[in-house]
Amino acid sequence: MEKIDLPKTYDPSQVEEKWYKVWEEKGYFHADENAKKPSFSMVIPPPNITGSLHMGHALNNTLQDILVRWKRMSGFNTLWLPGTDHAGIATQNVVEKELQKEGLSRSDIGRTEFIKRMWEWKDRYGGSIITQLKRLGASCDWKRLRFTMDESCTQAVKEVFVRLYEEGYIYRGSYIINWCPRCHTALSDIEVEHKSVNGYLYYIKYPLKYPSRNVQYLSVATTRPETMLGDTAVAANPKDKRFRDMIGTLLILPILKRELRLIADDFVSPEFGTGLVKVTPAHDPVDFEIGKRHNLPEINILHPDARMNQNAGPYEGLDRYECRKRLLEDLKREGYLEKVEDYSYSIGHCYRCHTIVEPYLSLQWFVHMKELAHQAIEAVAKGHVRFVPKSWENTYFEWMRNIKDWCISRQIWWGHRIPVWYCKDCDKENVSRSTPDSCKRCGSPNLEQDPDVLDTWFSSALWPFSTLGWPRKTQDLETFYPTSCLSTGFDIIFFWVARMIIMGLKFMGDVPFRTVYIHALIRDESGQKMSKSSGNIIDPIHVIERYGADALRFTLAVSSAQGRDVVLSYDRIEGYRHFCNKIWNAARFILMNLEGYDHRLQLTTYSLELCDRWILSRIDQVTEEVTGRLETYNFDEAAKILYNFLWHEYCDWYIELSKLGLNEGRRNVTQYLLITTFSKILRLLHPFMPFITEELWQYLQRTEETGQRTDSIVISEWPKSKSRMIDHQAIKDMEVIMDVVYNIRNIRSEMKIPPKKKVRVFINTDIPLINTLLNDHSEYINLLGNVSNLVVGKVKKPPFSAVACIKDMEIYIPLKELIDIKKERTRLNKELYKISEDLKKVEKKLENKEFVLKASKDIVKKQVERREELVNLRDKLLKNLKALDE
């Protein structure tokens, strides 16, 4: 056949969009629910419709795509189900900001019009992240694209709510919840981010109603003085001898003059402040529990926007922080403020807008979680669900065994509206899967639906089965549930993973997935977490435009070691862009050397050369290693194995050695081996680098390789390792030859022998097998070491020779005819002097005890490493000088 011309350079922009379009049109990503093949299924963690692709998305979806493409090629009926999340609070915030630009609020336009605007925004912008996922190469089944508020998911949400309500798991009650004054909604405990702040501890005098000569007041410490306006008691520990005899004493609340009683409660820590605490049941979760135990009244002092209400007396209408300022001024003026101390403590912030949240007494909907969690704990404990890395199971157990009831109502408009209708005539709660016509108790048609919506994570908890058609019995559920694996971040083990396990067991009778892979966090090159505020964000779409999707994907995969964060930089990505070029150039060499190739070759009629047996055996080993690493989710190791093999073995050695075969009578068998081996390499690389491998696969198909003709590499067969066929002796023999060549090259480099100059090489060995091996394959050493004459056997060292010692051999290269001995000696002495001086400086620093004690560990470590480097350089130079002195 004719040689095939490949463009000189790889241009991702000419390849990626072209092939993704073909893959979609051909339906390669679509799973057949009726197929008889074993299934492998995953659901994508649905990104928010407000979002754009960030590097965390890129990492997680790259790893998922590697698994899916590998399983598809391995013969599985593969479903990767995509979708997006309505992201209640986040999306509503975005649309409300748009309204503000028009001088409007959601209240101005009303709920119906606002929801219409939300859907319009979703239809206009909500799909942008899907487009970005396609640019990354995600091979999702886009025909099954889901949205957490589509009809199927909505029906599932209603069904789950009604069933849990009917079984007594869902209830409504007044409880202390986390309230965001900015978003005007309740937050669950895990939606609150706690941050350490430097604040103050205020000591406030509470006068006794009936003071004695010895005691006129009791001092109480607090970090939130404004909440004292809602105090209904003061508490001490019953074991605290200081206050034991005063329990029951009446106190007067400063400013408001309300009577309070001193009570005893075990929760109070005698070590905090004065040993006394103010009790504000409506504004502190601990105080709420104390209040329940002692039947204390609950006084709410805040409006939903964190302004003080009528219960705050003279501070009504003030913002909470303005109230604090005014109240402290009044307390000081009236002599109630005893002292103020600096104090560091943790305070909760809204995970969306980062506003400080308020503990707030409110009527909300909750799910009883303790009983539901029990089965989910068992599922992981018994191995029905496994975490990778396993260490994350401890995090899961810790949270699940201390689980609290889940507040599921949110005071916003965008989301799944709570399917409860209140009768205005008899107050009956009517819980229904569809809008009821009349009250179940009194028959009145006068019904009003609960205005709240469900927590976004409620619908997300049903994602693995709602997206497959539940509550209907569908073939998708039969074929693909439970899913095989979930890949996600550690930060949503509580938000999402645990709740999916709970809901899957409750409503499907089985876990939602068999494996949970927890991927790492991405950091910049200095180890800092990427964030907008730090200005160290790397935009994946920008990277794709600059380097191509494959370079980004491979960088993320090779960096994703289990249990370690991913350190990312443009330099690393650029390095793997060079890897793309290496693959391209290897293909170009092969395709340019196909002239005269006959694909009907029967390999069995040829005796294979050592390098042929070696490369065939190494590819089988690499196939086995890569497959094994993917099976254990060691993506980084699989990627490194492929990188090292292709660059440092296939390209550096086999392609170079193939030039011997292409120039001899073995041209056709060498062509055949180049094509078949490269075909396997492309298939092994495909899950990591789908675009470049598809482009080269299509070129390779023109060779009409027997048994490997496939329309796309996407649906080609994953290589199988033939362990029985591995020629271990060939591998050992090639390693000996490679070691020899490496040492020859090393001498050339160290002695500054010009690359084009051929060298004479003498190898001293008394091992007959090595003698035979090196003589029989002298052409390998001559070609790769640029050797003019090779002598192997029992030889003496020639004068002025550089020496390399390896197992059972000594390698000598005479230098006299290659370099100017006198000039080289002068050069080496100059270099030795410079290195010796540098070494003295470093050693002086390290001998200085003050430097070692005061300098940072990193600086000291660098100096130690520098010393080792200089010592190695010095020893090499001394060795090279010795060779010139003979």
Tens digits of residue pLDDT in 646-692: 999 999 999 999 999 898 778 889 999 999 999 999 999 999 999 99
Contact 297, 191 (CB under 8 A): no
Predicted confidence (pLDDT) at residue 704 exceeds the cutoff of 70: no
* Residue 609 structure tokens: 């050369």
Which stretch of DSSP H or E encloses residue 581?
helix 570-592
Say how many residues make up the chain. 886
Residue 420: closest CA among 170, 147, 168, 113: 170
Instruction: Kindly report which listed range (460-474, 659-673, 817-831) carries the lowest average pLDDT score.
Output: 817-831
Q: What is the mean pLDDT of residues 737-746?
A: 94
223 by Cβ neighbours in 10 Å (0-12 / 13-18 / 19+) ranks as: middle
What share of the chain in percent tops pLDDT 90?
A: 73
Q: Would the pLDDT of 547 be above 80?
A: yes
**Is the pLDDT confidence value at 88 over 90?**
no
Q: What is the rounded CA–CA span in Å between residue 13 and residue 33?
A: 35
Q: Which residue has the higher pLDDT, 801 or 113?
A: 113
The per-residue pLDDT for 497 is 96
Instruction: Please choose, from the candidates 239, 235, 266, the residue with its C-alpha nearest in 3D space to the C-alpha of residue 251.
Output: 235
Q: Tokens 């309500």: give the residue.
A: 165
pLDDT at 1: 62
Question: DSSP for 221-275?
Answer: EES-GGGGGG--EEEE-TT-TTTGGGTT-EEE-TTT--EEEEEE-TT--TTSTTS
Q: How far is 412 from 185, CA to CA, in rounded Å?
A: 6
Residue 604: which pLDDT band, with cuts at 50, 70 and 90? low
CA dihedral angle for residue 266, residue 190, residue 302, residue 417, rounded to 10 degrees:
-130
Q: What is the pLDDT of residues 513-539, one digit of tens each?
A: 999 999 988 888 878 877 666 778 889
Q: Higher pLDDT residue, 823 or 92?
A: 92
Contact 462, 156 (CB under 8 A): yes
CA distance linking residue 139 with residue 24, whole number of Å: 9
CA pair distance 578, 548, nearest whole angstrom: 11
What's residue 549's pLDDT? 97
Is the backbone peptide bond immediately before 211 cis, with ω within 30 degrees of 0?
Answer: no
- Return the ∠ at Cα 615 (arms to 610 and 617), rounded to 5°: 95
Tens-place pLDDT, residues 398-442: 999 999 899 899 989 999 999 999 999 999 999 999 999 999 999
Tokens of 566: 């991913």
Residue in the structure block whose two tokens are 């010009």: 754
H or E, element range at 128: helix 128-136
Give residue 353's pLDDT: 84
Contacts of 699 (CB under 8 A, 6+ apart): 4, 6, 587, 591
CA distance 292 to 772: 91
Instruction: List, in sequence order, every residue forming a beta bridge with 116; answer none if it has no partner.
Output: none
Report the interhelical angle of 549-558 vs 55-73 (nearest 10°): 90
The 10s digit of each residue's pLDDT in 243-261 is: 999 999 999 999 999 999 9
Separation in Å, CA 312 to CA 228, 323, 520, 886: 9, 9, 48, 98
* Of residues 377 and 817, more confidently modeled: 377
Q: Considering only 551-555, 647-651, 707-711, which range has the smallest mean pLDDT?
A: 707-711
Return the pLDDT at 857: 83
> What is the per-residue pLDDT for 706?
42
> Is the separation of the CB atoms in 721 and 627 below 8 Å?
yes
Q: Which of 189, 192, 177 is nearest to 348 (CA)?
A: 192
Q: Specify the pLDDT at position 735.
A: 96
Which of 145, 304, 301 minimizes the C-alpha distance to 224?
301
CA distance 398 to 403: 9
User: 680 is written with which tokens?
Assistant: 């396997």
Is pLDDT of 392 > 80?
yes
- Average pLDDT on 792-814 reads 86
Task: Measure CA of the first residue to CA of the last residue in the chain; give whole Å.
Answer: 57
Q: What's the confidence (pLDDT) of residue 189?
A: 79
DSSP code per residue over 38-97: PEEEEE--PPBTT----HHHHHHHHHHHHHHHHHHHTT-EEEEE-EEB--HHHHHHHHHH
Low-confidence winner among 627-631, 703-707, 879-883 (lowest mean pLDDT): 703-707
Cβ–Cβ under 8 Å, residues 553 and 137: yes
pLDDT of 186: 84
The structure tokens listed for 802 are 């550089």
CA 54, CA 51: separation in Å to the nearest integer? 8
- CA atoms of 263 and 273, how far apart (whole Å): 17
Q: Is the pLDDT of residue 57 over 60?
A: yes
pLDDT category of residue 447 using cuts at 50, 70 and 90: very high
Strand bridging mode 513-519 / 483-489: parallel
What confidence category does residue 708 fall into, taking pLDDT thresholds of 50, 70 and 90?
low
Tell me the average pLDDT across 322-329.
96
Residue 257 — left, alpha, or beta (φ > 0 → left; ψ -120 to 50 → alpha)?
Answer: left
Span 302-312, average pLDDT: 94
Query: Tell me, what's the pLDDT at 606?
Result: 64
Query: Any bridge partners for residue 671, and if so which?
Result: none
Q: Write b or e for each residue in 810-827: b if 16 or more Cβ atoms lie within 10 A of its Cβ, otherwise e.
A: bbbbbbeebbeeeebeee
Taking only Cα atoms into account, the Rg of the chain, rounded to an integer number of angstroms, comes to 36
With beta carbons less than 8 A apart as the criterion, state whether 197 and 347 touch: yes
> How far is residue 835's CA from residue 866's CA, in Å, rounded to a whole number?
11
737 within 8 A of 630, measured Cβ to Cβ: no
The DSSP secondary structure of 809-871, one letter per residue, reads EEEEEE-TTTS-HHHHHHHHHHHHHHHHHHHHHHHHHHH-HHHHHHS-HHHHHHHHHHHHHHH
Task: Give the 3-state DSSP-derived string for 357-370, with helices as H, strands as E and coil as C.
Answer: CEEEEEEEEEECCH
281/297 Cα distance (integer angstroms)? 7
Can you tell me the mean pLDDT for 825-846?
86
